[in-house]
Amino acid sequence: MTLPELPPSTLRLQIDKGALAHNWRELDRLSGTARAGAAVKASCYGLGVDHVVPVLEEAGARDFFVAHWAEVPAVMQHVPAECISVLHGPLGEADIRFAKETGARPVINSLYQARLWRDAGGGPCDVMVDTGMNRLGLSMAEIGEAIVSDLQIHTLISHLASADEDVALNALQLERFTAAAQQVPAQCRSLANSAGIALGASYAFDLTRPGLALYGGIPHPGLAGRIRQVACPQAQVLQLRDLSPGDTVGYNATFTARRAMRSATVSLGYADGFLRSWAKAGMLMHNGTELPILGRVSMDLVIVDCGAASQLREGDWLDLEYDLPRAAQLSGLSQYELLTLLGRRFCRTA
Ligand SMILES: *Cc1c(COP(=O)(O)O)cnc(C)c1O
């Protein structure tokens, strides 16, 4: 049976292409003599590869980072595979074959991965050196191993653990990375993520790898006022109701109306990435008017007090607070989580 055309979603996520391009250009400018790349893992932090990558490419980005091999094909629809690096690196034959056949570059993170890649014939790869995060990458001792000098290294990478804080670890990582770059021959050197760009020119090297700030996040006060909001999620009002004093609202009846009031039930829940932690201090907005959340967030629904929006109608769209620093404060979630949580039921448009 052929299905009729699907009705429109009651959830939409507007992606501001102008703001996205502006953010990349601003981060590229702040990177000084280095060029800015783009972290596009996790479907461009949840915003969708097809809406984001063409805009970044058009703005001038040429270096794209994903985490998984499975993330390569979607990005390859928009940029040559040679522009894509896979941060998790290869773990077996299938990964190696995929890398060779597509041309996407593995990031080599361990001596095991280095051997796998060399034994398969090698070719251009990136290398991650761990300068103090103890997460992924060759240790400072391991980069001296003979196998590393056998590799054909395009970009030498390291990742900052605390670039969003003013702590001594940043300078220590910078010092170690500088030493690693002197020891390991590579065409290109890359240390800074979004927050790292704000740490200054000495952290930029040849290539920076912003992710969060491209998408409107502000991980460091040095980026405040320069980065624009990109993701604007909205949800539709399904029903309005009148509550009498003593009526309770939602699961476990955690809110009780003290007076007669009007509530709106909205098509938005934790299955959409609007987690229950929003209930404490959160709200939705109608033309800038704040409508506080009442009771618990359900899987598919949330209830708000719409007393402040007397003209609100069923079917109207409400805005989520997605100025990321503010949203993080209100929800207790990180700016990264707020973006990557946004669920599949949002219809993404740009
Ligand atoms: C995710 C990631 C980035 C981007 O970091 P942001 O803090 O989002 O700018 C850069 N480099 C690596 C290795 C990453 O995993």
**pLDDT tens, position by position, 292-350:** 999 999 999 999 999 999 999 999 999 999 999 999 999 999 999 999 999 999 999 99
pLDDT at 274: 98
Do residues 212 and 27 touch, judged by C-beta distance below 8 A? no
Burial 281-315 (b: 16+ CB within 10 A, else e): ebbbbbeebebebbbbbbebbbbbbbbebeebeee
* Contacts with 76 (C-beta within 8 Å, 6 or more apart), sequence order: 84, 102, 104
Q: Is 17 a catalytic residue?
A: no
pLDDT at 67: 98
- For residue 219, give the ligand 1 atom closest to its CA: 7
pLDDT digits (tens, 9 = 90+) for 186-243: 999 999 999 999 999 999 999 999 999 999 999 999 999 999 999 999 999 999 999 9
Residue 137 pLDDT class (50, 70, 90 cuts)? very high
Q: Could you tell me the distance, in angstroms and rounded to a whole number, from the CA of residue 308 to the centre of ligand 1?
A: 40
Token pair, residue 69, equals 């091999």
Q: Could you tell me the distance, in angstroms and rounded to a whole number, from the CA of residue 71 to the centre of ligand 1?
A: 15
Which of these, 259, 311, 274, lies nearest to 289 by C-alpha position?
A: 311
Residue 1 pLDDT class (50, 70, 90 cuts)? confident
pLDDT at 318: 98
Report the topology of domain 231-349: Lyase, Ornithine Decarboxylase; Chain A, domain 1 (2.40.37)
Assigned superfamily of 17-223: Alanine racemase (3.20.20.10)
* Contacts with 244 (C-beta within 8 Å, 6 or more apart), sequence order: 257, 260
pLDDT digits (tens, 9 = 90+) for 57-76: 999 999 999 999 999 999 99
**CATH fold match for the domains 17-223 and 231-349:** no
Q: Could you tell me the distance, in angstroms and rounded to a whole number, from the CA of residue 290 to the centre of ligand 1?
A: 33
Is residue 324 lining ligand 1, measured as CB closer than 6 Å?
no
- For residue 67, give the ligand 1 atom closest to its CA: 15
Q: Where are the domains of the chain?
A: 17-223, 231-349
